[in-house]
Every structure is written in C-alpha cells, then in structure tokens.
Amino acid sequence: MQYIDEYRDSGRIKALAEAIEREALHPWQIMEICGGQTHTIAKYRLEEMLPPSVRLLHGPGCPVCVTPSSIIDFALEIARQSNVIFTSFGDMLRVPGSKADLLQTKARGADIRILYSPLDAVNLAAGNPDREVVFFAVGFETTAPVHLTALKEAERRGLKNFSLLCSLFAVPPAIEMLMNQEDNAIDGFLAAGHVCAVTGNSDYRVLTKKYHCPIVVTGFEPADLLYGIYLCIKQLESGRSELENAYKRAVPENGNPAARRLMDECLEAAGREWRGIGAIPESGFILRKKYAGFDASEKFGFLKNKKNLIIENADNQCIAGKIMKGAAAVSDCPFFGGLCSPEHPVGAPMVSDEGVCAAFFKYR
C-alpha cells in the first residue's frame, strides 16, 4: 500500500530505533496522547525496540474510552424509544453504561445500527421521515468536523428528524490537566497528528512555552512514531521545549481552516467529564444554541444545564484513569486479562481497539 508501506519499512524502522538509542543518554518518559498511536505501538511492539531508558506512557486519547457512562445511559434511554433509529460507529456499542451497553439494548429490540459515516445517518433520516434518527457523535477534534458536516447536510436538506448526541472532547485541556498533576512524570508529549491536521499547531506551541515541555506532532505508522520519539528525545537531551512537526505530510501549521470554521460556527467549548479521569473545564464541545434542533440532548431532554456536564459515579476500582494519566501501567491493574478482557470489559479502555488496555490485551 503506497503511503503506508514506506512507513512500515523494516530498514527505516531499524535505523530510527538505533538513532533513538544513540540520542537517549538519560531516562525519559514520553506520553503519546492518541489511542491510534497506542494501537500501533502495541501492534508493532515498538516499545521492545526502544532503549530501557525511554519509557512510553499511554495517554487518554481514545474518545470511546473517555465518554462517561452517564452519556451512554442517556444514549440507551434514547435508543429504547420506539420512534428512534439510534446510529453509531461500531466500537461504541460494547462500551458499558451503568447497567447495560448498546449491543445488549439492541438485542432487546432497540433499533440500533452501526454506520461507517454520519452522512449515512442523514440519508437514513431522509428515508425514514416518521422516525427520529440520532447519531452518536463521539470524538476529538479529528472527527468533530465529520459530524458537523452531517449536521449541515441535514440542515441543507431541511431534515427535522436528525440529531447528534455529542460526546466531543478537546486534546489541549487534557494535556494541561496532565501537566498540572501532582508528581507529573511526563517529560514530553507526542501530539495526535490527525487532531492537529484539523486544529493546527498553535495551541500546542502555547503549551510548550507554558509548561516547558516538548511536544512533537506525530503520525500513526511505526516509522512516524519512532521519528516523533526521536525528535522528542533530541529536544529533551538538548534542554529545548518546542513544538515540532514530525508529520508534515498530513499536518499544515494552521490545520484545516474549513474544518475549523465549521467547528467555530457550530460548537462552543464546555466542561466535560472524562471517564476514569474526572471533570476537566472547557475540555470538550457542545452544539451552539442555534443548532438546538439538531442536538439530541436538547431534543430528548438530557440535561437542563449543559455547562455543568455530568458528574460521573465512581465507576469501580478500575485503574484506567491512572493508566491514562501515565501514573500506572497496564500491568499494574489487578483486573487486566483476568476479570477485565474485551469480552467483559470492566473499564472503557478495554473496549475500543484504541483503548490502551484493549491494545495491550490484543497484542500481548
């Protein structure tokens, strides 16, 4: 596959691993933010190629994993209504709410459908004018514009029976939260290339200055990740803390202006509860008032005051939150691989392939 095979080439991988080994003179802990990157690291066993002094921490960047169970409970409540077709990407279906998940609810008769694109949900709404079609819009800045494109398309076609149930998160506030932790042990970050491809790099540049911490915008193939790690370590060894772009083939400095305009037009920042981590101010997005007609939480009366979103019940003794903050390793979890597995996830990161626990379970 062109544009993929080059970044999996074993000669290139070996050269990068050697370069990292040469540069890394001190112990460093680097966190990759994005679940897609965690997936690649686990799949290709990249940690085995790093010198022992370089440790990777696996961050909270899987939107499926950080969606709180209260939103899932609300999704189930909507999906159970007989006039509703509830649609979602596949990996939300097994994420547990407080009592059930979408797959179980589907088996009990709810009309829940897996789609590959929110635009398919718009077509579904057009084809079923007497039903309410709700799409579960879960994601970071990467997927938000896709959901909003569907919303605009529904608006253009005058559809009144289409809405989004938003669970949208922003990455930079999560990095700030991690940096502000007591005993924060993160020396540098690999930022998620796909997120920056939308938002651009400026927010991250601000963070490097504020926290004196290097951030390298990084891609998702094995060579991309090793190159990101390499640049990060070079910065750390020379005492620099800058924003560097190791994924220039996808990330322009200003991101995608059209996508950003769309987000500005439709979304406003809001506090969000991150499953396993807690509430982070201004760490996500909700639809602006003028799009209330497309907002499932308005339509189905989810929350009166969306600004103070959701207080999560303490889920259980799952340590997923600590893992996603870099304060614990997957191997520290007493449930991992035993009580908690992809068949019976205790915590959400065991559900999605991009969840840190599932990635490491799958590629043990």
Partner 1 sequence: MDFSANCPLPFSASDRVLLGHGSGGRLSHQLISEIFYPAFANPLLEQDHDGCVFPVEKGRLACSTDSFVVNPVFFPGGNIGDLAVNGTVNDLACCGALPKYLTAGFILEEGLPLADLQKITLSMQEAALKAGVSIIAGDTKVVERGQCDRIFINTSGIGFVPDGVEIAPAKAAPGDAVICSGQIGTHGITILSARESLGFETALKSDTAPLNHLISRLLAEIPDIHVLRDPTRGGVATTLNEIARSANVGITLDEALLPIPEAVKAASEILGLEPLYIANEGLVLVILPENKAVKAVEIMRRFDEGRDAAVIGRIDSAGKAQVRLKTIYGGHRIISMLAGAQLPRIC
Instruction: Enumerate residues 6+ apart whose C-beta is below 8 A from 235.
Output: 188, 214, 216, 241, 242, 244
Cβ nearer to partner 1, comparing 210 with 344: 344
Cβ nearer to partner 1, comparing 14 with 160: 14
For residue 314 the two structure tokens come to 């303490």
Cβ nearer to partner 1, comparing 114 with 329: 114
Could you tell me the smallest distance in angstroms from the CB atom of residue 218 to partner 1?
15
Cα 267-273-277 angle, rounded to 5 deg: 135
DSSP 205: H
Could you tell me the smallest distance in angstroms from the CB atom of residue 3 to partner 1?
10
Could you tell me the smallest distance in angstroms from the CB atom of residue 34 to partner 1?
9
Could you tell me the smallest distance in angstroms from the CB atom of residue 359 to partner 1?
11
Could you tell me the smallest distance in angstroms from the CB atom of residue 122 to partner 1?
12
- The number of beta carbons lying within 10 Å of the beta carbon of residue 73 is 17
Could you tell me the smallest distance in angstroms from the CB atom of residue 64 to partner 1?
6
Could you tell me the smallest distance in angstroms from the CB atom of residue 314 to partner 1?
26
Cβ nearer to partner 1, comparing 75 with 236: 75
Question: Residues 36, 37, 39, 44: what is their CA dihedral angle, to the nearest 10 degrees?
Answer: 140
Among all chains, which residue has been given the structure tokens 């690291």? 41
- The number of beta carbons lying within 10 Å of the beta carbon of residue 209 is 11
Taking alpha carbons only, the member of 139, 89, 66 closest to residue 285 is: 139
- The number of beta carbons lying within 10 Å of the beta carbon of residue 297 is 21
Cβ nearer to partner 1, comparing 4 with 314: 4
Q: Are residues 348 and 96 in contact, defined by beta-carbon separation less than 8 angstroms? A: yes
Where do the DSSP E strands lie in 51-209? 54-61, 84-88, 112-114, 132-139, 162-169, 188-192
CA distance 132 to 82: 9
- Interface residues toward partner 1, by CB under 8 A: 1, 4, 8, 10, 13-14, 36, 39, 42-45, 48-49, 63-64, 89-94, 103, 114-117, 120, 138-140, 142-143, 194, 222, 341-343, 352-354, 361-364
Cβ nearer to partner 1, comparing 1 with 314: 1
Cβ nearer to partner 1, comparing 87 with 163: 87
Give the CA radius of gyration of the chain: 20
Could you tell me the smallest distance in angstroms from the CB atom of residue 36 to partner 1?
6
Cβ nearer to partner 1, comparing 116 with 158: 116
Find the distance separating the first CA and the last CA of the chain, reported in whole Å.
26
Instruction: Enumerate residues 6+ apart whose C-beta is below 8 A from 102.
Output: 72, 75, 76, 79, 86, 88, 92, 93, 94, 95, 110, 112
Tell me the CA distances in angstroms from 333 to 26, 192, 216, 271, one per residue in order: 28, 26, 29, 29
Cβ nearer to partner 1, comparing 52 with 239: 52
Could you tell me the smallest distance in angstroms from the CB atom of residue 289 to partner 1?
27
